[in-house]
Amino acid sequence: MTAAAPSVSLHPISAAQHTEFLSERPWASFMQNPQWALVKPEWEGFSVGIFRSGDGRQEQLVGAALVLGRRLPVPRRIPLLGAKRLAYIPEGPVLDEDEAPLTEVLPALTDYLAGAGAFLIRMGLPGHVRRWSAAEVRQALADAAAEEPAAREGIAGLAPVQEDPRMLRARQQLLDLGWAEPEPSTDFEAGQPQFAASILLTKKNDEGTEPPLSVDEVLGRMNSTSRRQTRKSTRSELTVLDSADGDAEARLAEFQELYRATAENQGFLPRPAEYFRRLHSAMNQGGLSECRVLCAHFEGKPLAAAVYIRQGDLGFYAYGASSNEERKRYAPRLLQLHQIELALEAGCRWYGLGGISPSLEKDSPARGLAEFKTTMGADVVQSLGEWDCTVNPALAKVFNLYMAQRGI
C-alpha cells in the first residue's frame, strides 16, 4: 500500500500560533501580524494556517495568512448577502515556498475563502520584483525636469540593479491560475503601493554575507543636500522624545496636533486621533512588532513628529508631520536619522519610507515625494501589486463601485 501524496490544507489558527510562525520569518510584513487586524476595526480579521501533510507525517504549518474581511454594505440579517465579504490579504500569505508552492496554495486558499463567504479575494504577495538605485532614479528625475526623451518611460523603463526571478515566476503563476493583474498606474493605489522607497541597511562583502551599514555609510548614500541638512539637524539644539520612554499619550497628542496642521496645509484628509492610539497600542502587543511616536522639540515645543513601526527585517516610517516654525533646524531630518538608527540597532535590513509614484514627469504632483525619498538614499522597489480573484463577478462589481467612493 503506497503512502498518501503530500497535500495542502487550510484551517483557522490562533493569534498565538500565527505570531510564533511569523517570529521565525523576519521578512514577513507587519501587515500580516495578527495585531494589524486590531488597527482596522471596520474589517474583520482572522488567521488562516496552511498545513502540509502526507508521506506518513503529521500536519506541519508551512504558511499563514492574516485575512481582513469587509462585508457588503447590507445588514447581516439579510439571507446570503449578509454573509458575503471581500477577503483582503495585505502582503501575504507568508509561505515556506519549498513546502507550500503557490500553485498548490492559491487554489486551496481560494476554495477556503469562497466557502467562508468571499465574493472577491484581493492579495498582495510579499517581496520585491525589481529594485532601482537611488542615484539612478535621482538622475532620471533630473533628466525628466530637463525634458530628456528617455524620461517619458517612467521608473519602470529604467534598467533595474536587481530583478528577482522568483517573483517573476510568481507573477506568471498568478496569471496561469486566473488571477487579475493590477492595471499600471502612475497614481497611488487605494491599497498598498506597487512602487515604494526603501533604504537598504546592509552591504555585500567578499565573504558573501551582508553586514549592516554604519550610520555614516547610510549618510553617505544621501545626496549632498540631504546629508548636510541631516548633519545640521544634530547640531540644532533639538531633543527627540520617544513614546517608548513613557508618556505615550503626550507624544500622540503632539503628533496629532502637528498632523492636523500638516493635513490642512497640504490638503489631505487626516486620520482621527483614535486611529493612531489603536495603531500604537496594537503594534506594541504580541511581542512581534513595535510602534513608536517620536517628537523633535526645540525649547520644549514640538517641531516635528513621526510614527515608526518595526517588525523583523523592516523599520518603517509610517507617518510624519511638522511645523512651519524653526525650519532651518531641520527637525524632520533629525527624526529620519533617529528612525534609521533605531532600525540599525534592531538589525533591520530595510528602512522603508512608503510609496511613491513611478512617474518621472516633471509636472507630476507626486514628483516631490520621489525626489525627497531618493535624495535620502532610498532605492525604489517594485512589488507585484495587489491581484484579484473574482469568485462572484456581479457582487465584486457592485462592491468595487461602492469602495471607489470611499477607498479600500
**Residue holding cell 493612531?**
276
Q: Are 240 and 334 in contact (CB under 8 A)?
A: yes
Buried b (16+ CB within 10 A) or exposed e, 236-258: bebebbbbeeeebeebbbbbbeb
pLDDT top residue among 405 and 357: 357
Q: Give the three cell numbers for residue 182.
A: 493590477
- What is the structure's pLDDT at 365? 79
What residue segments make up the domains of the chain, in order of their start?
7-124+386-404, 215-348
Q: Give the three cell numbers for residue 136.
A: 539612478
Nearest to 34 by CA among 128, 84, 123, 44: 44
The per-residue pLDDT for range 285-321, each reduced to its tens digit, is: 999 999 999 999 999 999 999 999 999 999 999 999 9
Instruction: Check residue 300 and give left, alpha or beta (phi > 0: left; psi -120 to 50: alpha).
Output: left
CA distances from 162 to 47, 129, 133, 135, 167 (A): 33, 8, 9, 14, 12
Multiple choice CATH, 7-124+386-404, 2.40.240.10, 3.40.630.30, 3.40.50.1970, 1.10.287.10:
3.40.630.30
How does residue 56 score in pLDDT terms, banded at 50, 70 and 90?
low
List, as one string, the DSSP characters of 222-237. Answer: S-HHHHHHHHHHTTS-
List, as one string, the DSSP characters of 84-125. Answer: -EEEEETT--EE-TTTS-HHHHHHHHHHHHHHTTEEEEEE--
What average pLDDT does the structure give for the chain? Answer: 92
**What is the CATH topology of the domain spanning 215-348?**
Aminopeptidase (3.40.630)
- What is the structure's pLDDT at 408? 45
* Predicted confidence (pLDDT) at residue 48 exceeds the cutoff of 70: yes
Residue ranges in 146-266 assigned as alpha helix (H): 165-176, 215-220, 224-233, 248-266
**Amino acid code (one letter) for 280:** H
- What is the structure's pLDDT at 5? 47
- What is the structure's pLDDT at 14? 98
| Residue 177 exposed, middle or buried by CB count within 10 Å (0-12, 13-18, 19+) | middle
The per-residue pLDDT for range 5-42, each reduced to its tens digit, is: 458 999 999 999 999 999 999 999 999 999 999 999 99
- What is the structure's pLDDT at 1? 33
* Predicted confidence (pLDDT) at residue 331 exceeds the cutoff of 80: yes
- What is the structure's pLDDT at 2? 37
* Predicted confidence (pLDDT) at residue 406 exceeds the cutoff of 80: no
Q: 352: helix, coil or strand?
A: strand
Measured between alpha carbons, how far is 31 from 89 in angstroms, rounded to an integer?
Answer: 9
Q: 340: helix, coil or strand?
A: helix
**Amino acid code (one letter) for 289:** S
Contacts of residue 254, Cβ cutoff 8 Å, sequence gap at least 6:
293, 295, 302, 305
Q: Give the three cell numbers for residue 72.
A: 457588503
Helix (H) or strand (E) holding 79: none
How does residue 405 score in pLDDT terms, banded at 50, 70 and 90?
low
How does residue 86 score in pLDDT terms, banded at 50, 70 and 90?
very high
Q: Quote the pTM value.
A: 0.93
The per-residue pLDDT for range 337-366, each reduced to its tens digit, is: 999 999 999 999 999 999 999 988 888 878
Measured between alpha carbons, how far is 392 from 87 in angstroms, rounded to an integer?
Answer: 12
The per-residue pLDDT for range 189-248, each reduced to its tens digit, is: 556 889 999 999 999 887 778 899 999 999 999 999 999 999 999 999 999 999 999 999
Residue ranges in 310-378 assigned as alpha helix (H): 331-345, 367-375
**Amino acid code (one letter) for 328:** K
Strands 350-355 and 314-322: parallel
- What is the structure's pLDDT at 190? 56
Asked if residue 107 has a cis previous peptide bond (ω within 30° of 0), the answer is: no
Instruction: Please give the backbone phi and psi of residue 384, each rounded to the nearest 5 degrees, phi first.
Output: -75, -15
**Residue holding cell 526645540?**
298
What does DSSP assign to residue 269?
Answer: P
Winning range, highest mean pLDDT, from 53-57, 191-195, 249-253: 249-253
- What is the structure's pLDDT at 158? 94
CB atoms within 10 A of CB 393: 10
